Amino acid sequence: MSRIGKNPVAIPEGVTVEVKDNLITVKGKLGELTQDFEDVTVKVEEGQVIVERSSDLKNERAKHGLYRALVNNMIHGVSNGWTKELELVGVGYRASNQGQKLDLALGFSHNIVLDLAPEVKVETVSEKGKNPIIKLTSHDKQLVGQVAAKIRGFRKPEPYKGKGVKFVGEQIRRKAGKSA
């Protein structure tokens, strides 16, 4: 039995969960998310979502915990939202935004301008003496992670000085460099 899959997901106040055919729809104050599923059964009972499988086939065991985790992430997203913070480490690295356009200066000969999806809210914080921070917020965990990974991919942190775009709280493995 899947340890994660057998735990029911509690539905908080103000969130509705509907299961029709092979589609789960979760609505809350921050938005609406849908997810299709297969090989498992999803039931909504007494303020809880229960994911069950019919047999012990490898494919069904694999998807049991997966769909329970996806439903949990959807419910958390539409009620509380998801946030990722990125930190720009390096001299001259800057970030600014105008609405949904994110303008990044990452040491290249040109600035990188990124158009973000309307579901993702972006905020840039630049304080004197501190590294600039980009805050991404949305109800969709997968979309926030994907946008954050794309921004980080423009200039990954390097191991010698630690310069680049990193997640807040991320530990960078450092190398000694050459010794004279």
> Would you list the domain boundaries of the chain?
9-79, 82-167
| 8 Å CB contact between 100 and 122 | yes
pLDDT in tens, 144-167: 999 999 999 999 999 999 999 999
**What is d(CA 10, CA 75) in angstroms, rounded to the nearest whole number?**
9
Q: Provide the CATH topology of domain 82-167.
A: Outer Surface Protein A; domain 3 (3.90.930)
Side-chain half-sphere exposure of 30, counting CA atoms within 13 A: 20
pLDDT in tens, 45-95: 999 999 999 888 998 888 999 999 999 999 999 999 999 999 999 999 999
Q: Provide the CATH topology of domain 9-79.
A: Outer Surface Protein A; domain 3 (3.90.930)
Q: What is the pTM of this model?
A: 0.90
Phi then psi for residue 142, to 5 deg, are -65, -40
| 8 Å CB contact between 141 and 125 | no
**What is d(CA 74, CA 42) in angstroms, rounded to the nearest whole number?**
14
